[in-house]
Amino acid sequence: MSSSYFSFTIEAECSRTWARAGTIDTPHGTIRTPIFMPVGTQATVKSVSPEELGAAGVQILLANTYHLMLRPGSELIAELGGLHSFMHWDGPILTDSGGFQVFSLGHLRKLSEEGAVFKSHLDGSAHLLTPESVMRIEAELGADIILPLDICAAYPCSPLEAQEAMERTHRWSERALEAKERYRPEQTLFGIVQGAFEPVLREQSARFVGTLPFPGLSIGGLSVGEPKQMMWDMLHYTTPALPRNKPRHLLGVGSPEDLVIGVGLGMDMFDCVLPTRVARHGGLFTSHGRINIKAARFRTVHGPIQDGCDCYTCRNYSAAYVHHLARTEEQLYYRLGSIHNIRFMLCLANQLREAIIAGSYPAFRDEFIACYIPTSEAMREAQREKWKAARRM
């Protein structure tokens, strides 16, 4: 799939899984896939500078349309030269559509065929988002890849609700494609596949959205509270129905183990706040799983968080110092922890790519899963609840 502003080429495909390695070209640079995209919700990846993102191997960022349209406002960002200039990041950026946040953060007031009316979580003011207005807002933000307004069904939901949400998302997709024509040709609009947790709908949505003239596809509606296995099951119905030549973005998914498994299920792009959020709470990634740097056992550790890690943190600081900063809640900790986890994700994406090219992805995956102890389902649920509670404060 290519245009003068966007192209995706596949360099290697795994013979035993759906994994592939490719290259995406955008107006702000090239992206080698599979890729992890850190999230800069409010036009900043929390506590990390653009130079540090670059040094950690970041190739593309995701920013949240919902947050930025409310504050500081997309018109202001346009006036200041667009998101790239505003946040001093010259690489590719992807903006989501705001749809997910309208349902999860904002207070949805009215959902109709026209669009969604919601109350801002900041000041209670009412806003209308339509497939058309989202195209205008994202044009003002100026990201390289943009997403259309969609409806993310709740988990759990009835099959009928799932179908209605999907069908409306499809109709909105067509409206978005039409509206986008009025704005910036250098922006690339991805389609969003929905279908909740209904295998038939997932396949149907993949086929429908996959045939529309979107140069890439985001898989939405997953990682919304369901068990992990259920998410992977849905990809089993989705991926075979997707066109081969378009990059596939798994929206809002991105723990280390998710990346490794998702790649095998045909996903090329991943974004998630998890690596930076867990870092801020002391959770740092190592090849054996996530450690808690605040644990007393790190108090006297002379060596780095992970032996052999080439991130800024591990090259310059002992685990004991990072532990000290975390325990004393020093701001430098949040930065050092986030940089380490971001670098871990980018290294992992690169290792996956190399394994795919070398034809050894299945072995890499199996070895990773054998070594890396993931956070348990129960722990994940407890963390999610804790985070939700903190957000309500």
What are the strands, taking DSSP E only, across the chain? 7-13, 20-26, 29-33, 35-37, 61-63, 93-95, 107-111, 116-119, 126-129, 145-146, 188-189, 191-193, 217-219, 248-250, 269-271, 283-286, 289-292
> Residue 72, preceding bond cis, omega within 30 degrees?
yes
Q: Which amino acid is at 207?
A: R
> Which range of residues in 85-93, 250-258, 281-289, 356-364 is near a second copy by CB under 8 A?
85-93
- Shortest CB 50 distance to a second copy, Å: 8
- Told to judge if 271 belongs to the known catalytic residues of this protein, a careful annotator would answer yes
| Tokens standing for residue 197 | 């947790």
Q: 96, 144, 150, 258: which one is catalytic? A: 96
Q: Decide if residue 327 touches a second copy (CB under 8 A).
A: yes
Which residue lies nearer to a second copy by CB, 77 or 348?
A: 77
Q: How many CA atoms lie within 13 Å of 211's alpha carbon, on the beta-carbon side?
A: 6
Among this protein's residues, is 96 annotated catalytic? yes
Alpha carbons 227 and 314: distance in angstroms, whole number: 33
Task: Compute and round to an integer the Cα radius of gyration of the chain.
Answer: 20
Summarize the chain as % helix, strand, coil (round to 5): 45, 15, 40
List 10, 27, 55, 72, residue binding a second copy (CB under 8 A): 72
Q: Is 351 in the site for a second copy (CB under 8 A)?
A: no
- Is residue 302 at the binding interface for a second copy, with CB under 8 A as the rule? yes
Q: Taking a C-beta distance cutoff of 8 angstroms, is the pair 237, 199 a contact?
A: yes
* Angle in degrees, CA 312, 314, 319, rounded to 5: 135
Name the residue nearer to a second copy (CB basis): 45 or 149: 45
How many CB atoms are located within 10 Å of the residue 351 CB? 16
Site membership for a second copy, residue 331 (CB under 8 A):
yes
- What distance in Å separates the CA atoms of residue 39 and residue 62, rounded to the nearest whole number? 5
Nearest approach in angstroms of CB 133 to a second copy is 22
Answer yes or no whether residue 90 interacts with a second copy by CB under 8 A: no
Mark residues 207-246: x for contact with a second copy by CB under 8 A, - for none: ----------------------------------------
Identity at 139, one-letter amino acid code: A
Which CB, 317 or 361, lies closer to a second copy? Answer: 317
Taking the complex as a whole, the smallest distance from the CB of residue 328 to a second copy amounts, in Å, to 5
Q: Choose, from 25, 144, 258, 271, the residue flagged as catalytic.
A: 271
**Residue 86 binds a second copy, judged by CB under 8 A:** yes
User: Among 71, 109, 244, 391, which residue interacts with a second copy (rule: CB under 8 A)?
Assistant: 71
Tokens representing 356 are 């795919």
Q: How distant is the alpha carbon of residue 330 from its chain centre?
A: 27
The binder of a second copy chosen from 2, 54, 88, 185 (CB under 8 A): 88
For a second copy, the closer CB: 52 or 138: 52
CB of 320 to a second copy, least distance (A): 6
Does position 328 interact with a second copy (CB under 8 A)? The reply is yes
- Which one, 232 or 312, has the nearer CB to a second copy? 312
Question: CA 35 → CA 49, 79, 361, distances in Å?
Answer: 19, 31, 15
- As annotated, the active-site residues are 96, 271
Q: Which residues bind a second copy (CB under 8 A)?
A: 42-44, 46-49, 71-72, 76, 79-80, 86-88, 299-300, 302, 316-318, 320-321, 324-325, 327-328, 330-332, 334-335
